């Protein structure tokens, strides 16, 4: 365990940034191109966690723990968001018998 932590600390910050960007981009692209609402929710979670990872990495890099406090807040927020989001999806499914995002095309003038 000690070993893992020390090894992690040797990973340069650039790698964290690149990795987070990659995950974030995957999340964004997932939201944009997928039409299944559940998968879109998962992509959003990906984005959130990419940010969490980045926050933790910077927190360690700067030796400031407030970044990690933020991560916990975001996790709590994400849990709440998922709860509401899934509830909405269930309601949509009950009404349209589909979880396709294009089922919600009434959101216009």
- Applying CB under 8 A, which residues contact other proteins? 28, 31-32, 35, 101-102, 104-109
User: Smaller CB distance to other proteins: residue 5 or 107?
Assistant: 107
Per the CB < 8 A criterion, the answer to whether 50 and 24 are in contact is: yes
Q: How far is the CB of 10 from other proteins (least distance, A)?
A: 31
CA pseudo-torsion sign 69, 75, 76, 78: positive
Helices vs strands, H then E, count in the chain: 4, 0
Q: How far is the CB of 86 from other proteins (least distance, A)?
A: 17
User: Smaller CB distance to other proteins: residue 2 or 102?
Assistant: 102
Which of 53, 100, 99, 52 shows the shortest CA–CA distance to 78? 52
Per the CB < 8 A criterion, the answer to whether 53 and 66 are in contact is: no
Q: How far is the CB of 68 from other proteins (least distance, A)?
A: 25
User: Smaller CB distance to other proteins: residue 14 or 105?
Assistant: 105
């Amino acid at each position: 365990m000690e070993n893992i932590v020390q090894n992690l600390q040797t990973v340069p910050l650039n790698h964290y940034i690149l990795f987070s960007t990659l995950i974030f981009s995957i999340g964004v692209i997932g939201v944009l191109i997928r039409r299944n609402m559940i998968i879109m929710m998962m992509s959003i979670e990906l984005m959130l966690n990419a940010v969490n990872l980045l926050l933790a990495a910077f927190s360690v890099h700067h030796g400031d723990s407030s970044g990690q406090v933020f991560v916990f807040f975001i996790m709590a927020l994400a849990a709440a968001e998922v709860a509401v989001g899934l509830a909405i999806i269930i309601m949509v499914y009950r009404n349209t018998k589909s979880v396709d995002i294009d089922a919600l095309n009434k959101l216009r003038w």
